[in-house]
Amino acid sequence: MRFFCLHMHSLELCETLYAEFGPQHWWPGETPFEIIVGAVLTQNTAWSNVENAIANLKRARLLTPTKLARAPLSKIRAAIKPSGYYNQKALRIKKIAQYLAKNYGDDLTRFLSQPVCSLRHEVESWKGVGPETRDSILLYAAQKPVFVIDAYTVRVAGRMGMTDKRAYRELQAFFESSLPKNPRLFNEFHALLVHLGKNYCRKTKPLCASCPVKTRCRRRIRR
């Protein structure tokens, strides 16, 4: 193997992080539609801003496909302003709501229970939905066994020497092939990687000395 001799298996890393950090309770959405909207709103902004935008949408009673589809853009813009890029995001979530309302109404059960390939095909046809947003919807809203790759996952996997893959699809295949195909596991593991990336494996000045996986990390050991 070209990988580091202390290469940590994905499942072992997940178990270590879970023992250290506990359950992450992610994604914090009350309905699949709220998760879909949140997945779009969280692009290029911190989650705390999304929380404010979601709270505003709830207060305005706009968090169903039919209500959001019919709402004036100005009202949507005002509600989601805290999430940034609100002109663009308002248009995007309204279009998604229109698509869902037209094809499925407010009950998304039939939409979300499709096989993963057809669901992926529908979701990626939505404007402004890239691989990370698409897969967040597949995993967190539809509970499909699809591993989400984000900047934290790329950073931790690279620094730890788990794989030399960097491209989205390759890194996703690496995680999916090294774990039991269980959406709850994928859900928890991804949230734990985000926690590690935010709190220890930071972009600059990572806190390696106190990191719970420091004894198995290539970057830490090589320094």
**Which residues touch 15 (CB under 8 Å, ≥6 apart)?**
none
| Segment lying near ligand SF4 (by CB under 6 A), choices 2-10, 57-65, 144-152, 209-217 | 209-217
Contact flag: residue 159 with ligand SF4 (CB under 6 A):
yes
Q: By C-beta, is 11 or 73 nearer to ligand SF4?
A: 11
Tell me the DSSP string of 76-96. Answer: HHHHHGGGS-HHHHHHHHHHH
**End-to-end CA gap in the chain:** 22
Asked if 93 and 69 count as a contact pair (C-beta separation under 8 A), the reply is no
Residue of 167, 200, 203, 222 that binds ligand SF4 (CB under 6 A): 200
Please tell me whether residue 111 adopts helix, strand or coil conformation.
helix
- Residue 51, exposed/middle/buried by CB under 10 A (0-12, 13-18, 19+)? middle
208 contributes a contact to ligand SF4 by CB under 6 A: yes
The residue (of 117 and 209) whose beta carbon lies closer to ligand SF4 is 209
Location of structure tokens 């270590």: 16
Q: Is 201 in the site for ligand SF4 (CB under 6 A)?
A: yes
- Considering beta carbons, is residue 93 or 201 the nearer one to ligand SF4? 201
Instruction: Round to whole Å and give the CA distance between 37 and 79.
Output: 12
Residue-wise burial string across 207-217, b where 16 or more C-beta atoms lie within 10 A, e elsewhere: ebeebebbebb
Decide if residue 94 touches ligand SF4 (CB under 6 A): no
String of contacts with ligand SF4 for each residue 115-154, x by CB under 6 A: ----------------------------------------
Q: To the nearest whole angstrom, how small is the minimum distance from the Cβ of residue 201 to ligand SF4?
A: 3
> Among the candidate windows 3-11, 129-137, 163-171, 212-220, which touches ligand SF4 by CB under 6 A?
212-220
Tell whether residue 161 is a contact of ligand SF4 (CB under 6 A).
no
Q: Kindly list the residues in this chain that would bind ligand SF4 in the complex (CB under 6 A).
A: 156, 159-160, 200-201, 206-208, 211, 213-214, 217, 219-220
